[in-house]
Structures are given as structure tokens and as C-alpha cells.
Amino acid sequence: MRNLNKKALFIVITEVLWNFAKALNLTTNTYCGTAENIFVSNDSDNWWQVHTQPDQSIFVRSVDLDEGHIHSCYEYKAINSLGRIISFDTFCYPSVIVTGVRKCSTSALFSLFALHPKAKRSVQKENCAFIGDRSLLQYFDSLPRNVELDEMIIDGCVDLQGNMKIRKMLRYPKTFFVILVRDFTDWLWSAYNYWCDPGIDKYQCSPENKWVNVEFHFRSVNGFHDIVQGSI
């Protein structure tokens, strides 16, 4: 019975958040400032340059690929040093991105959004433009190429600085950013139980991702209290 009540509560919360985000994207103009001062358009077809390197330059332009008009969609093209188009495709940027500080329930909220039947989620949470070894084109290719009516693309990425960078690069898409923070004391306790230092925690710590090995978890409230008191 308790599990059924919890599931029902999740459904209600998701529907409320979903409709709230959709209403904001339908009625709010998120454009801030003039993009002409940031990027230089290189031709008369509304393309603007977002990235350049010795062997290629990347351009994007806005296109209408969303029947519901709640997403910002784009065409992109990559041009090599000889002026030839070597890559061309489309993508739609997420309408909702869950972001904020790590260990502030961003994964939980992203999973909650993903339960909605109209959610079109990324392959994995933390589908961030500037984290990892992917190129900008590979990031664009990870996004949906179009959106059906009433669908909403959701993503989760705690790289807040990167989110603002790609937002500026794409000339302020119609995206609702859910930014999560947390009481600092609660955050410290959560971080203390989650992250570790292989040089200090030895076998308690996973060297691959610096997460605590739960089978060797010896963190304690008293130990946490002593560390905090010792740093005051």
C-alpha cells in the first residue's frame, strides 16, 4: 500500500512540474541581450558560427522542427578548411534541463521527469556539452532531431557553467532550467558519505570515480562531527 501511495505521489508531482515547465516555455521569452555582439554571422541565410578550429568551422541556424513550439531546434553544418560541407544535420535542444549543485537530488528529479509518458529523455543523465571527450558535433548528434506534438525533451546536467555557455552559443533557446541547491550542512554530510580520496581512504574508495565503496563504508556521524569541529 505504501509503495502504491508513493507511486501516486510521484505521478502527481511529475504532472505538476511538467505542466509548470511547459507553461513557462510557452509564455516566457528567455532571450537576453543581442547575440550579434557574441557571434558573427557568416552568410545571409541566418547561420552563425559557434565553433572554429584549424580544420573545420561549425555553424548553426534556427529551424522549426517542433509542432508544439516549446523547443528551440537547429540545423548545423561543419565546413572544412577548403570550404566544403563535411557534416550537416538537425537537433532540438532540451526544453527542460535539471541542473545545480552535485548531491542536491538532481538525479532524483531527472528520473521523476523521465516517468512522464511524454518525456523524451537523453540516453543518460549528464548529457553535457562540455564534459567528457566528445566533440561539439557529437553532442549535437546526441540530441533528438525533431519533436512530436506534446513531447518534451528533458536532460540533466550539473555543469551549470557549461549549460550557460551552450545557452549563449545557441542564442538563448527556449529552455527551462531547474536549478537545485541544498542546505549546506545536509550537503556536507551527503558529500562526506559519497565522495572519497583514494590517498586517504585507501580501500574504502573506488579509484575510478572517487566514490565510497559501500561494502567498506566506515563513515560515521561522530567522525563527521569531529572533522567539522576541527575545521572551525
| Cα separation, 89 vs 94, whole angstroms | 17
Give yes or no for a contact between 111 and 191, defined as CB atoms under 8 angstroms apart. no
Which cell goes with 209? 570515480
| pLDDT at residue 16, rounded to an integer | 59
Residue 68: all three cell numbers together: 508544439
Helix (H) or strand (E) holding 197: none
User: Could you tell me the three cell numbers for 71?
Assistant: 523547443
Nearest to 69 by CA among 26, 31, 18: 26
Q: How far is CA 172 from CA 93, 181, 222, in A?
A: 10, 23, 47
Sheet holding 73-80, edge to edge: 48-53, 56-63, 73-80, 85-92
The C-alpha cell at 167 is 545557452
What's 37's DSSP letter?
A: G
Query: Model's pTM, two decimal places?
Result: 0.77
Instruction: Give Dmax over CA atoms of the chain in angstroms.
Output: 66
pLDDT tens for each residue of the chain, 232 residues long: 455 455 555 555 566 555 656 565 554 443 333 333 333 334 457 999 999 888 999 999 999 999 888 999 999 999 999 999 999 999 999 999 999 998 899 999 999 988 888 899 877 788 999 988 889 999 999 999 989 888 999 999 999 999 999 999 999 999 999 999 999 888 988 888 888 888 877 777 887 778 888 777 777 888 888 877 887 7
